[in-house]
Structure 1
């Protein structure tokens, strides 16, 4: 943002808003002007909420999901089945699954995927912590729910290799044809996954 007419503080606000996904120059400027002109109390509330979240939210020491406690609500729930562990890429996946699926086990959040070219190794996504949990012998089934991307598949394969010495059943969620979807409109990778994951009718 190089317009010399903009005050420096406005420029900084617009540049800060642009770090959000999907927010470009014009959208960031529109947001900034709205907050400054029409909703200054909302701007103060937003600023306080961001500050509070940054100060209070951190990773759960057991599953790495976001929480404001040492151990998150899922991990501290005594009704959860400790023998089931679902591995996901990020906190949004936990929230999505918890709203859509009748799953009573625990989660493990990678906070990303393995990506050697980007310098992201096993410890960066918590696989050392995951292996230490497997070594305790409590987990009987490991459900891999990483995304069907190249990185997600590579990460799932690596986790499968980690789990082998511990005699843990490793399953992979099916990726395929969505409800209401038509085959002619699906890409080849989706169709391949759906075909390989076919089940008894």
Structure 2
């Protein structure tokens, strides 16, 4: 039997989502309940489906429903350009801008001595393998302009030195900025004006 406890638990769980606090979560849950047939039931069904089928691409780390994501499967994207991003949200931000036509590599974070995150905790070894085996001619380091992002970019540049052209996003991405929060025009301009490291 359902009770307010279930609704309170749903509000608490939704409040843990990024960008939602307790008040926003309460409003969202109330809206979903009021639009039960139109939103709540389809949302619950779709969330169950995604929970069962979503997985990381074995090649690049993107999220999809198969072992290899649609971007990696698309032969038209085998341009020799590989864009390295910190997180899947950054990959999706780059895709929203619709200017990059190559493939991606998701690191899964950045190097951080304070958090004990080293190269082996990230997908840096897999990146080296991809550069060696996939005919990569350019690696674009599209990492967040934070201290950890810059440290990671320099580490990767050292690891791949001489194997391919290494570039980073141009000015326009603010220091301390994160790709997921930038508008499409800024991402587009920064990608077009990338520079050698």
TM-score over 0.5 (shorter chain):
yes
User: How does the TM-score come out when normalised to structure 2?
Assistant: 0.78
Structure with more relative contact order (C-alpha pairs < 8 Å, separation 6 or more): 2
Residue number among 137, 140, 143 corresponding to 1:140 in the alignment: 137
Q: Distance in 2 between matches of 1:108 and 1:34?
A: 38
User: Pairwise mapping of residues 83-122 of structure 1 onto structure 2 (< 5 A)?
Assistant: 83-122=80-119
Contact 1:148 1:175 in 2 (8 A): no
- SS of 1:117's partner is coil
Of stretches 141-150 and 21-30 in structure 1, the one that deviates more from structure 2 is 21-30
Residue number among 102, 125, 135 corresponding to 1:128 in the alignment: 125
Matched, 1:170 2:127: no
User: How does the TM-score come out when normalised to structure 1?
Assistant: 0.77
Cross-structure match for 1:81: 78
Q: CA offsets, 1:147-179, max 9 Å, x none?
A: 111111111111111112x5221111112389x
Q: How many residues align?
A: 175
Question: Alpha-carbon deviation of 1:114?
Answer: 1.9
Unaligned runs of 5+ in 2: 175-189
Question: Alpha-carbon deviation of 1:142?
Answer: 0.7
Cross-structure match for 2:35: 39
Q: Distance in 2 between matches of 1:105 and 1:149?
A: 24
Contact 1:88 1:107 in 2 (8 A): yes
- SS of 1:95's partner is helix
Larger Rg: 1
Unaligned runs of 5+ in 1: 1-5, 179-193
Q: Distance in 1 between matches of 2:109 and 2:151?
A: 12
Q: Distance in 2 between matches of 1:114 and 1:177?
A: 20
